[in-house]
Structure 1
Amino acid sequence: MDEPNSHRSPDGGGVGRFLLAAAIVLMLVAVAGATTWWMYSREPAPTAGPAPAASASQCPDADLVVAAAPEIAPVVQAAARTFDDDSSDKCGPIEVIAEEPSVTAASSVKYDVWIPSSSKWVDLAGTRGAAYDIDGEPLAHSPIVLAAPSTLADQIAKGGQASWAKLTAGVAAGQIPAVTMADAQTTTVGMLSVYAVNRAMARTTPDAGIAQLRALTLRSRLTDAAANPAKLMTRIAEDWNTNSVTAGIGVFPTTEQQLKAYQAGKHTVQLKGAPPVDGLVDADYPFAIAHNNRDAELTKRLRAAITKTSLTGAGFRTSPTPNAMPVIAEPQELLASSTMWAGYKNLTTQVLLLIDASGSMNQKITAPGGRTTTRAALLRQSGGIAAELFAEDTSVGMWFFGQPTPASPAHVEAVSFGPITGAVKGKTRREALGAAMAGYKAADNSGTPLYQSVLDGVDEMRPKVQQGAVTLVVVLTDGVDGESTFTMTQAEFMQKLTAGQDPNRPVPVLAVGYGPDVDMKALNDMSNATGGKAFAATNPADLSSAIAKAFLAAHAPR
């Protein structure tokens, strides 16, 4: 073990490098689960709030060094002081360092004892070689709840219960002014909330891809996805204007303990909270002992000194929350979800959607859940949900391409291009997109003028390119270019596409290949030539996941 005076917190950059290196998958974890519970109660007010993280050991001669999550650190520090022989000496045999679990998990420092705010941090540290064993049951628990100013709380919680699915629907419909979330990579609240959102959305549909799209709908509406929970509470406490807090922060997840600590402060802006019953998770506080712990007997005595009375007095529970779902994801899967969530960028986007309306879209397929449907019907369902993903600063238009007769054009405009919030025949453009997808039909025996439609789409969007915005063409097709008067060879198409490129006005093509007959080589070539990317949904049941991947690519850092 390192010498005591080497116990210090690493820099935040190391945390990010560790977490990003550990996460290699971009897919959301979506596993169905069921929970019920009621939360908002008037339990005894806590005495402890978040403590500042220590940057280095202050007691080099300590016999035992303990790292504890900041919110539980005061309770652990109080227990450690019972071992002090000299009350005038600030250092006793046990030093307690208040440190965020993400920092400890990424650190090369090995503390004698570690009390993070989730057992998952111990698993994550283990993937990096940090050797801790969890001793017995967790010391404490605190469920993740959805909190909001009192003026908004009744809107998100009926009968003392909230729902991730209802929250998502409310924010998508513009009924909830703002949703804020803690950083999913560096905070327990953020990491567990992302897991809970995925589980909640998986309960709404047997289609994992659609569940992913619904989770992304919430992510695309977050006002802030990297808030610091302690600073968030401080900001609310210092803001005397309830309306500004509601508009700027709105609804946010936090732990029950943190909410109680805030409520005990009798602040001007009052907060209430309720559990999301469709995705209830517990922040648990394990007592983890390092393999090279230096004093097993003192460690045992410290655990005994952390009493249930002291924990409940600080706002914690000392037994698991009823009906809280287990966090069963493997460490890498959990980090993959968090990394995707954190890596999503809110970008001003201009996008033209090109949707295949050729006859092959009427082929029958087996949809998720086992029902028989058609490619077109599955696209109507997935596309309607995808229309909710676009943020308020998006401009969008949609074409259907196909040639049912030799005299037909290569494509028709289903929704004119313009701001998503703009008006189209008495509806918002978002509503018009949803209506157009609901009415989408493919004509039997219609040809597939794929190449001409892509060329026209890129030409249409190039003049719209502007600084500070991402301009894209997104094409979805289930076949190959052919059976139309616009048919051309791939070589001819690529020559025209390449010749039309303007490095100063780039228009990447994101292509989704749908079904087993799609020409993925053609889609990859057109995407690579324009700086875009292609995604395959060879199994039609994977359509929604492919759309989600394309949406993520459109909002990835460039």
Structure 2
Amino acid sequence: MGRHSLPDDDTTDGSGDRPSSRRRTVAIATTLVLAVAAGTAAAAQGGLLSFSKSCEDSAVHLSMVASPDIAPAVRAIADKTRKDDLRSDGRCVDVEVVSRDSYKVADALADGTRTPDYQMWLPDSDLWLSRAKGTGDAVPLTPGDSVASSPVTLAMVPSAAKTLGWPKKKYTWAELTASATEAGRVRLGSADPARSATGLLALTSIGASSDKQGGDSDTRVAATAKLLAQRMSDGDGQVLGTLAGDGSGSEEDGPARNQAVLLSEQAAFAHNAESTGAGRLDLFYPTDGTPLLDYPFTLVNEDKLSTGESRAALRFMTLLSEESAQHTLEEHGFRTTDGTAGEQLVASAGGKSPQPYATSPATAPSDDTLQKTLGMWTITVQSARLTTVVDASGSMATIVPGRNQSRMDVTKASLIEALNQFTPNDEIGLWEFATRLDGDKDYRRLMATSRLGERAKGGGTHREKLAAAFSALQPVPDGATGLYDTALAAYKEAQRTYVKGKFNAVVILTDGSNEDDRSISRSALITELRRIADPERPVPLLAIAVGPDADREEVNEIAKVTGGGGYQVNDPAEIQAVILQAVMTAGQSGRAAQE
């Protein structure tokens, strides 16, 4: 969403669209700009207009939900606009700003069951926009311009920073976390990456940095994730409270006190503004780039807004990019949208030369990379117990367009690749299904659900045996899709063998709809799954529709009653990423339900 000609807007800077690290820029209904009668043109050209009736009678009232870190600054801007009688089409604009964690808003929007009571959303990162899309039932969003930014850093109490050579010693993300965590040298904490854009962007940066080092980078990153999980806070609002109170980080503070945390520069700025001496934080800026929180202005349920509301919201968005508003944001510790900042802001936050605080921001990770990292985190923090159920019907022999491989061959390769993301403590089993594979049964268990690191009979590990079983999967000639009976049987078995403390789930991959006319009906299956689902022993069913012939709506309808969901992949090579996404989504939904 770039700059538009707005009602009552006589400020222009000629800059056009501003660059953004990962802006999926979408115009907020250009037609809205044209929808108002020509009579408002004079207002658009003439700046703020005076009206005889009071603002109370004519004001456009809007509500914005904003990330807690930026909410105070935006509230101050909104208060000033109210005082200054900011107008849109001659009507005063009254914006209420409510502080709310971005992950909570994203999850509520993805659920799509409740109509939001706000028209605008300002999360701390556009990664939440992808999460808010959900699986198809989400509240529609219209992303717009970034209004500010703040780099993700590693903040340390002075004593810990000194041991790592701050500020002269410079590190990459991988080197910094390795040096900090080596032999417990520095107690490092983080906000939960599933609930914190700062935590997720930092963990993704650590992973990318580790990849460049070569070797077994996945193992190193998983080990870092394990350490972070031991000293994790629920969210950004809690992580600063875990730091040593006097800045020393001594054992007198207790083993729970962190000496370093993954933190945004703005959060360090706000902390240091209220601290003195040893209580202040020093910031490391890794040499391979610091990702940015980018604060995208977003319209919520735009189609439900009146023309006046949409134009007033657009007016407020543009106001946030103007000089006075940007000055207010800077006073609260935020950088401009391209990541530049003045020396005073950086110094106040805890940055110091020669730390590379002024270098270009790191390239923003793709959605796929973020999902992979988040899936790895979820699996690492809470070991998984998955029963993988693979369609072996004859249609799995169909050649994938653009590849000289069948759906089954690409599926097998993707499953083996996904297997590498799981730890030795994760438990995974394997079933296959078609029609009447085992007598009258449409399914057959090939591998029991066991720990991947467990030693198998005849040598090797369960992981190695499972990879071999994946490789041996073959389509059954003339086999049809016996989906319904298989789903029910696998779900009941997963319930029967439920392991407390693990993420228990059934993952079904199918390339078609149920074709067994002797099986339970879809409505009867859904009724039975709803009846036996136990919230105290949750087993979400994660159903992945593979290929253009599969019906995502069908599998989603079945899976949703268990707390899971249905997903669609046109190319089986996408299965690995979707499994991790599904595990993450179901795992977070389950935790939210428990709260």
Query: What's the TM-score once normalised by structure 1's chain length?
Result: 0.50
Query: What's the TM-score once normalised by structure 2's chain length?
Result: 0.47
Name which structure has the greater RCO, CA cutoff 8 Å, separation 6+.
1
